[in-house]
Amino acid sequence: MGKDVIIACDFSSAEQTLAFLDRFTGRKPFVKIGMELYYAAGPEIVREIKARGHKIFLDLKLHDIPNTVKKAMAVLSRLDVDICNLHAAGTAEMMRAALEGLTRPDGTRPLLIAVTQLTSTNQEALEQELLIDRPIDEVVMSYAQNAKNAGLDGVVCSPLEAEKVHRLCGEAFLTVTPGVRFADGDKGDQKRVMTPAQAKAIGSDYIVVGRPITAAADPVAAYQRCCDEFIG
Ligand code: C5P
């Protein structure tokens, strides 16, 4: 897989999602299915979108005891998605178990990436609630290194962290980055953002773009603009 734009399909029903995807009559975009849509529409929506020819990043952020995550990942691998994820906070043992579960009998498996620290967690919450007394940046890099050591393929991170992750974990370690906005666009609730062109310049492997495409007057044109800026 190369550089690509992943559309975050943050819809609450299968009907809405399929109506949105119907607009893309040319190139089939890579699609991210998150908890909202998966919990509303179940594995059937994954099968349907896959059958329509899209690649899928199933963003369910698993975090449980290793055995449970292993078994859940085995189920997800049968859905034939392209990327799955989990929380690096579940420990290296959990990440290794996830990889085992994800690997099909023929040795193939979806890519597995880790969430380091959620971008909604700030330094204060880290110290006061999670009792982690280190700079958040250091925690993110340490979790990325743990994910790499456990054999994972990459991390979800802010575009601002992508360069540092690549320096620490190598260029082949994937950085999948949300928080992308057009230079002339609305930031919404995202605080630390980059344009697709900037994300390309700092070496993001995949950008995850939601509202700048899903809420655009012309989503197909907005998607094309992202691809032009990011892939070239
Ligand atoms: O609409 P927007 O472009 O902000 O959507 C970004 C997508 O990436 C959403 O699905 C959001 O949940 C996800 N995401 C994020 N920040 C993270 C992890 C995931 O925005 N740190």
pLDDT digits (tens, 9 = 90+) for 160-178: 899 999 999 999 999 999 9
Rounded Cα–Cα distance for residues 30 and 25 (Å): 14
Rounded Cα–Cα distance for residues 132 and 170 (Å): 26
159 lines ligand 1 (CB under 6 A): no
Beta-bridged to residue 87, according to DSSP, are: 115
Catalytic residues, which ones? 61
Question: Which atom belonging to ligand 1 lies closest to the Cα atom of 118?
Answer: 21
User: Is the pTM above the cut of 0.85?
Assistant: yes
pLDDT of residue 188: 82
What is the average per-residue pLDDT within 200-229? 97
Question: What are the pLDDT digits (tens) for 6-53?
Answer: 999 999 999 999 999 999 999 999 999 999 999 999 999 999 999 999
Range 66-71 contact pairs with CB under 8 angstroms and sequence separation of 24 or more? 66/90, 66/91, 66/93, 66/94, 66/96, 66/97, 66/98, 67/97, 69/94, 69/97, 69/98, 69/101, 70/97, 70/98, 70/100, 70/101, 71/101
Rounded Cα–Cα distance for residues 185 and 209 (Å): 12
Rounded Cα–Cα distance for residues 175 and 14 (Å): 28
Best residue for ligand 1 mutational test, from 10, 63, 208, 214 (most atoms within 8 Å of Cβ): 208
178 lines ligand 1 (CB under 6 A): yes
Token pair of 157 as six digits = 């991170």
Question: What are the pLDDT digits (tens) for 50-107?
Answer: 999 999 999 999 999 999 999 999 999 999 999 999 999 999 999 999 999 999 999 9
Query: DSSP assignment of 8-31, as one string?
Result: E---SSHHHHHHHHHT--SS--EE
Residue 224 has pLDDT above 60, yes or no: yes
Compute the distance from residue 36 Cα to the ligand 1 centre, in Å.
12
126 C-beta neighbours (distance < 10 Å), count: 17
Compute the distance from residue 107 Cα to the ligand 1 centre, in Å.
31
* Cα torsion through 89, 92, 96, 102, rounded to 10: 10
Amino acid in the structure at residue 218: D
190 lines ligand 1 (CB under 6 A): yes
Best residue for ligand 1 mutational test, from 5, 7, 9, 10 (most atoms within 8 Å of Cβ): 10
Sole residue written with tokens 């899928």: 56
What is the average per-residue pLDDT within 211-225? 98
**Cβ burial, residue 217 (10 Å; 0-12/13-18/19+):** exposed
118 lines ligand 1 (CB under 6 A): yes
* Average pLDDT of every residue of the chain: 96
10 lines ligand 1 (CB under 6 A): yes
Compute the distance from residue 193 Cα to the ligand 1 centre, in Å.
11
Instruction: Specify the 3-state DSSP secondary structure of 186.
Output: coil
Q: Where are the alpha helices (DSSP H) in 6-135?
A: 14-22, 35-51, 66-77, 92-102, 123-128
Rounded Cα–Cα distance for residues 153 and 133 (Å): 28
pLDDT of residue 147: 98
Question: Which atom belonging to ligand 1 lies closest to the Cα atom of 32?
Answer: 10
156 lines ligand 1 (CB under 6 A): yes
In this structure, which residue's CA is closest to atom 15 in ligand 1?
178
211 lines ligand 1 (CB under 6 A): yes
Compute the distance from residue 21 Cα to the ligand 1 centre, in Å.
19
pLDDT of residue 1: 54
